[in-house]
Amino acid sequence: MLIIALEGPSYAGKSTAIRHLRRTTLGSRAFVSDCYVKHIAHRDDIPPARTDSAAAQLAAFDRFMEIEVARVAEAAANSRQLVILDRSVDTLLAHAYALDALFGYGVHHQLRHRLKTLPFLRPDHTLYLDVPVETLHLRRKTAGHTAAEFEYFLHEPRFLHHARDYFVHTARRPMTRELTVLAADAGPDEVAKAVEALVGFWAR
């Protein structure tokens, strides 16, 4: 089984790329799993992006790992040899890494340790869509989401900086076996095609 994950900040283009892949030959022969939050039926049940304590951050991790366990079972029950993930456990670790840096929760190392005993899908390849902060803000504004949710923690520059560091600069490697960074500040169709090309190369 070959597991490929797409990572990157909110509005980086992951969902667009996933939708594009679903329409291709690659997508037709792959098991594709949506982002964690899409597995939660009610918006109010989604853990907050900015937790207010280390305990709350650990609880958020546990909630998302319930979904990860279900992903593992679904992938195992599926006969397809290609698995494509919209975010992986590295999302959860990157989030904790950023909140540790911002608020001193000190939970990132605990989560890494806990993962050693928990079932999860470890990507063989992770494609990180790297987008400048200004471009992310513009995409969110174009989508019409700025008025309804003015303060968007996931786009706060300090959070984005630390979350990106987890993938690109941190001394401790992400859980994925191999990380590729793709500049994704082009149009969504162009980015989706670049993602398709890389996934096709890995899945040969």
pLDDT in tens, 38-97: 999 888 889 999 999 999 999 999 999 999 999 999 998 987 889 999 999 999 999 999
Distance of CA 57 to the CA centre of its chain: 17
Entry pTM: 0.93
Question: What HEC string does 46-81 produce?
Answer: CCCCCCCCHHHHHHHHHHHHHHHHHHHHHHHHCCCC
Q: Are 72 and 120 in contact (CB under 8 A)?
A: yes
